[in-house]
Structures are given as structure tokens and as C-alpha cells.
Structure 1
């Protein structure tokens, strides 16, 4: 009888150790989250929308935005659309190694790091589009930028002359 009691006691002690460890871990994680140390979601804002006025017989143009992530987590710009454009796509200007030549490359997405800002520019990341109708200087073009975690952000871009 005594050996049965000793075995049960030993088994209970062995089972108690992982339960206590799990409870301590859960308590520590709860305190970490409650203190705000676990971070927070991405907080995206999009400003300074511009669309270059196409010139000559060129139908395609580019749009540029300033995207700020004031949150604690990275987010990813996955797509852009506009009801005033036929085709809208993310692109990036890249320089070919050794060739001293730049070319445009379509990209699937763009990461917006936590606590950082990306500014779209003609020699970097931009939005290529083909407007449905001719654009006029000063006109406003609506866009919807879709982010992986923050969802859709609606913004308007103003038509400006290239270089302004």
C-alpha cells in the first residue's frame, strides 16, 4: 500500500511541474501584453497624392503617395486601384548592374515598416496607371490602396506637372 501511495505522489509531482511552468509563462505573457510591451497593430496613413499630367501621345502616367506607418507592426501595400484608370499597378525603378541603365519593374507589394514612412518617387516606388480619360492639371483622381493588415485606405491625388 505504501508503494502505491509513493508512486501516486511521485506521479502527481511530476505532472505538477509542467502545469506550474505553464501558469507562470501565461502570467508573464499577460503582464507583458498588459504593459504594452507586446506592440500594437500597424497604423497607416496616406498623404500627398500626386499624379503626373501625361504629355504628348503617352497615355500612361504615374502616381505617388507618402505612406506613414505610425504603428508597432509592419504592413504591406498589396494593391492599388482607381475608378478613373484602366490599369493600375505598383512598379519600382531599378538600375541594371554594370549597365548604368534604369528600367521599370512591376512589383507585387511594398512593405511599410513599423514606425517608418515610404515616399513614392519617380526614381523609386510608384503607381503606374492608364487613365480612362485625359487628365487635366489640378484635377483630383481617387485611389484605393489596400494593405494586408490595415485594409483599404481611400485617398485622392492631384494632377500636377512632372517635376513639380
Structure 2
């Protein structure tokens, strides 16, 4: 039985999955910061670039801001300033669709394509320097995808 002056064990901060996920996410993002600083990107900009590199390799039917928002689970109000900044940096090109000016199509510039090579080397260095076991990382990523799917109704 929990003493009256202590909260129930299920209400202790360290017993909260949400807190562990939040703290781990912040720690991982902080770990990426030196790499991203070298690239001149923020973490959200990096996520945008990851999707655009995927799309460059295998173009979607509609490479739009809306599709990017769905992929990253972000709204256009959040994405627009990120994309503007990436465009100013010379990594991304935005074009309004001729058939509907509300629809904005995205593409990588040559600089954006070239940036991928830098990221690949720096990311490998980052993962190795933190002693991450690849098999454990793959397993954790799978379990997190499953958890995300349960909370969002998405398949992992």
C-alpha cells in the first residue's frame, strides 16, 4: 500500500511512458544537434529533408506541402516557415500547381540533393559515437512504430 503522503506508483513521473518518450526524444534531438549545426539545419528541417530525399528517390504521385504534412504529422502552418527557410538556404524549390494555386509542389534543388551525402556520413559518425547497437535500434524503432500506430491508427 502506498503511504498517504506519496502519490500512487502509476502517477509517479518516472513511471510514465509519455515522459520517457518525451525525455528520450529530446535527448536524441540534442544528440543530433552537432551534426545539424554543421549542416545549418534545425531538427524539423532535417525531418523535412529526409522525406524529400525519399521522394527524390521514389517520387510520390503528389509531392505537395499537404502530402509532406501528412507524412510528418505536421500542419501547413508549421511547415510553411520551415519550407521557406529551406528554400532560402537553397535546398528546396516550391512551385504552385498550375491547375490549383492553393496546391504547392515541392522538389529538391541540386544543393538539397547534394546535402544528402553529407548527412549520410555525419549520421553514421553520430550513431557510432553514441555506441548504438544497430539491432537494438531496429527493434526499438519497430516497437515505437507499433505504439505510434496504436495511438494514431496508422500502420507502422
User: Normalized per residue, which structure has more helix?
Assistant: 2
Relative to the length of structure 1, the TM-score reads: 0.21
| Larger CA Rg, structure 1 vs 2 | 1
Higher-RCO chain (CA-CA 8 Å, sequence separation at least 6) = 1
Relative to the length of structure 2, the TM-score reads: 0.22
